[in-house]
Amino acid sequence: MRNIKRALWGMLALLTVLWFVAAPSVFQLTGFFAVRGAIVQYSGIIAMGAMSVAMILALRPRWPERWFGGLDKMYRLHKWLGIAALAVSVVHWLWGKGPKWAVGWGWLERPVRGEKPVIENPVEALFMSWRGTAEGVGEWAFYAAVLLIALALIKSFPYRLFYKTHRLLAVAYLVLVFHSVVLTDFSYWTSPIGMVMALLLAWGTYAAIVVLLRRVGAGRQVKGRIVALQYYPGVHALEAEIEVPHGWPGHNPGQFAFKTSDSAEGAHPYTIASAWNDNDRRITFVAKELGDHTSRLRETLHVGQEVKIEGPYGCFDFDHGQRRQIWIGGGIGITPFIAGMKHIAQERHATPDRPSPEIDLFHTTAEYDETAIAKLTADAEAANIRMHVLVDARDGFLTGDRIRAEVPEWRAASIWFCGPAGFGEALRKDFAAQGLPVQERFHQELFAMR
């Protein structure tokens, strides 16, 4: 979380500083319309800068993943940038349209404009001839972007519709690139802010085209075939075992991948619930019935069906140096720990003399399935992990005090949490209050892709 906050505020601060360098006279401006012009330029740069970086992150690039702490954190930044672009775009629109309305209502007097100077630069003259078009199409693209971003933020909006409508943001973005290039103060383009914006707009344009062509992550996709399905009625979850005979590079425990079983529905992210074995070449996913898509999987998936797998992604891999660890899986958040247990058991079998980390696994759940718990228990025993199962109705809720009572050496441990975001944040604050350096020791997967 710390690095995505740094990236967000650092980007906004950099664009702000570069804009002030390009427009030093802003501090000497007098008159409402002069100030209005400066605010419109500044807000346009900030909005398009945020939208451009969000569009770049939509490509799911691998190179910044380790620094951000995983693709899940990058998607959180993508969301924040979308919200920032939306908010600043509204400000930009109000400053652009509001004074015109005020003049029409007689609240403001239109400034007297002198004769326009002759523009000798042919590019600037061309941009000037396109101003009216850029303003018109930009306004409609703004309305479309506001609607599409708002839909993306509504959790109840069905994923299958979100998948289709969210891609339309790439079209709105391309129109807004034209709007920005034409209407940005022409003098900026030879300054550092212009060079940075040109890079962001060009990169964002490339990303938008890739999104529209539906080629995101195409180089990391492999074909697979479902070889086994098992449903756990007590927890309303479906386990799918998929064979990937070619192309899959392997994965670390705790990572996730995108699975596509229906091209109309698009790719869905699932945590991988299996260790990688190059001789077996199979991947297991466990999906809980939480939404419109996952609730239909029992009817739509079948053994022998071909699927596409893209990945692996994520840095929730239990690899931060502490040999004492505490794992906490809330509900379906147990899945990365299943992979972790299977990986440790596999390593113990291959190198029995190699010391294993000392781990306590807490699985708290509102629902109970005897078969699923029996498989978890067997995995924990094979990995020599102490497992604590808490069923809410029977055992009460898991708290920091209960964890510390069960693990007296908690101060030397790293904590790995996957589950409801609010629960994780509460535990994080609780352990921080007890003196645990949570920035380095508390690892939480932010498994929310919208």
pLDDT exceeds cutoff 80 at 150: yes
Residue 270's H or E segment, with its range, is strand 268-271
Residues of the chain above pLDDT 90, percent:
76
Beta carbons within 8 Å of 7's beta carbon, 6+ residues apart: 68, 77
pLDDT at 268 over 80: yes
pLDDT tens for 20-36 read: 999 998 888 888 888 99
Q: What is the pLDDT of residue 264?
A: 77
Q: What is the mean pLDDT of residues 140-169?
A: 89
Q: What is the pLDDT of residue 418?
A: 94
Quick one: tokens of 121? 């630069």
Structure confidence at residue 56 (pLDDT): 97
pLDDT in tens, 311-360: 999 989 887 667 899 999 999 999 999 999 999 999 888 888 888 889 99
pTM (2 decimals)?
0.89
Give backbone dihedrals phi and psi of 130, rounded to 5 degrees, phi first.
-95, 0
In whole angstroms, give the CA distance from residue 106 to residue 100: 10
Of residues 361 and 448, more confidence is placed in 361
pLDDT of residue 256: 94
Mean per-residue pLDDT for 64-71? 90
The model's pLDDT over 94-125, given as tens digits with 9 standing for 90+, comes to: 999 998 898 889 888 887 776 777 788 899 89
Q: What is the pLDDT of residue 442?
A: 95
Q: What is the pLDDT of residues 355-412, one digit of tens each?
A: 888 999 999 999 999 999 999 999 999 999 999 999 999 999 999 999 999 999 999 9
Q: What backbone torsions phi and psi does residue 240 show, to the nearest 5 degrees?
A: -120, 125
- Kindly compute the dihedral angle of the four CA atoms of residues 412, 7, 157, 328, in this order, to the nearest 10 degrees: 0
Residue ranges of alpha helices (H) inside 115-220 are: 122-129, 131-153, 159-166, 169-183, 192-212
d(CA 134, CA 175) in angstroms, rounded, equals 8
Q: How far apart are CA 53 and CA 68, in angstroms?
A: 14
pLDDT of 438 over the 90 cut: yes
DSSP 353-367: TSPPPEEEEEEEESS
User: Are 243 and 227 within 8 A, CB to CB?
Assistant: yes
Q: What pLDDT, on the 0 to 100 scale, is given for residue 450?
A: 63
Domains of the chain in start order, with CATH, are 2-111+121-212 (1.20.120), 219-313 (2.40.30.10), 324-444 (3.40.50.80)
Beta strands at 358-365 and 256-260: parallel, antiparallel or unpaired:
unpaired
The mean pLDDT of 211-239, rounded to a whole number, is: 95
Q: What whole-number percentage of the chain has pLDDT above 70?
A: 98
Give the confidence band of 133 by pLDDT, cuts at 50, 70, 90.
Answer: very high
